[in-house]
Structure 1
Amino acid sequence: MKICGLSTPETLDAALSAGADMVGFVRFPKSPRHVSLNLGHRLSLQAKGRAQRVVLLVNPGDEDIAQAVEAINPDLIQLHGSETPERVAEIRSMVKRPVMKALGVAEPSDLQALTPYAGGADHLLLDAKPPRTAAALPGGNGISFDWGLLKGLDPKVSFMLSGGLNPENVAEAIRLTKTQAVDVSSGVESRPGLKDPARIEAFIRAARSAFAAAHH
């Protein structure tokens, strides 16, 4: 279970205390969840040894990557832009740590785009495609895609599910998609960029219960 877009010590502590496996820090200035290198460094130290630390980057240049890795020292890099499979493999080789590639899903043909990434990325994150508006963020828009589309996915493909998840629907999402992991950002917020500790706890509790049921 990953709680993404954490940006305060208090909400990070809520996610860690509730048992998040992964915590995500966003480095994307257009996002209300963006953290400075200084804040990212402090949050990363707070999470060290308690959860896997993920830094989310969007079409980053080599310098952006180097700065984020040095300041935040993430356990994993999440790429949430239009990075090509070749660029993903290049970044993975450069940072010498695991890379997760987020891919937008809206229709069956989108699933075909997964295969080229499977070799270069360590993990795949399936998210809803952002709305077609200039202001749309690449993720964290609070919209989900038709989970039924994933019935056409090769069962050997392991993925993390994202996009419009919240405490109310995460159990159903896990049941329908058979995902191994879930990622939430806006679904546990009281307003854009501000996480709600009670919703974080409710999300993790609901997801944990659904995963336990799926394994029986």
Structure 2
Amino acid sequence: MWIKICANTNLEDAQLDASLGADAVGFVFAPSKRRVAAEQVARITLHLPASVERVGVFDSHDAEEIVATARTASLNGVQLHGGVDHALAHRLRDVLGGEVAIIQTLHWQVDAGGASAEAVGRHLDEITREGIVNRVLIDSKMGTATGGTGVAFDWEKARATLAEHAGGLKLIVAGGLRPENVAEAIEQLAPWGVDVASGVEAEPGRKDPERLAAFIRNARQAGSGR
């Protein structure tokens, strides 16, 4: 079970993520109250173990901007959060080669009923055909707000769609995850990974050590029992 702790804003939290066994730490470069700058992140990633992935979250469609930020901040993963843009993914792969993993975010509109299932299924099929990205993060969306909503999508309804359309993709579940429900999400969806931000915070931009430890522990236990 791959575990990413996202929306880090300081070295103390990022090091705590790593020490508790997170596989990846995330930094938000998209508009957010948890947004960070490339130079700020560079001072953090310098002190992280080489084994821990360092992932930047972007809503930009400017490949050169993403590449420059990734290099300045010493990232080895980029998460595309601004909608599906196959041309952008191709450009990033051309420039970055295999040195940086690409994660495509798809948004499950929790107030859209069956329409969201259709849209997510269609995008999963497209991503599989393109063959550029093999990690796909499914996040919840409420109205116009994407990410950091603290609201989970309907895992039971999503299960059939993801099972039918995900194919060989590595699915990562996000959106409303907490220590209390991460095991249920893993049981329902059998993902390759999970991603959390607000669910392990004491306040925006600051992690709660006890909730963080509980989340990682519960995710590991649920993942090992599959």
TM-score (norm 2): 0.86
Whether 2:61 is the aligned partner of 1:51: answer no
Match of 2:124 in 1: 114
- Which range moved further: 94-103 or 159-168? 94-103
Structure 1 regions of 5+ residues with no counterpart?
Answer: none
Going from structure 1 to structure 2, the CA distance change for 1:37 and 1:158 (only over 3 Å counts) comes to closer
Structure 2 regions of 5+ residues with no counterpart?
Answer: 110-115
- 1:35-50 residue pairs with structure 2 within 5 A? 35-50=36-51
Length, aligned pairs only = 209
Match of 1:211 in 2: 223
Separation in 1 of the partners of 2:196 and 2:190? 17
> Kindly, what percent of the aligned residue pairs are identical?
34
Q: Is the 8 A contact 1:14 1:201 kept in 2?
A: no
Whether 2:105 is the aligned partner of 1:102: answer yes
Match of 2:74 in 1: 73
Match of 1:160 in 2: 172
Separation in 1 of the partners of 2:68 and 2:61? 11
Q: Is the 8 A contact 1:56 1:77 kept in 2?
A: yes
Q: Report deviation, 1:63.
A: 3.6
Match of 1:139 in 2: 147
**Deviations for 1:136-160, whole angstroms, at most 9, x for unmatched residues?**
3x31221111111222322634301
* Stretches of 4+ aligned residues off by more than 6 angstroms: none
Separation in 2 of the partners of 1:151 and 1:39? 41
TM-score (norm 1): 0.90
Separation in 1 of the partners of 2:92 and 2:126? 15
Separation in 2 of the partners of 1:85 and 1:60? 10
- Which range moved further: 152-161 or 170-179? 152-161
Q: Is the 8 A contact 1:170 1:206 kept in 2?
A: yes
Q: Report deviation, 1:186.
A: 0.9
Separation in 1 of the partners of 2:179 and 2:79? 23
**Deviations for 1:41-71, whole angstroms, at most 9, x for unmatched residues?**
0111122414111111112423421321221
Separation in 2 of the partners of 1:58 and 1:147? 25
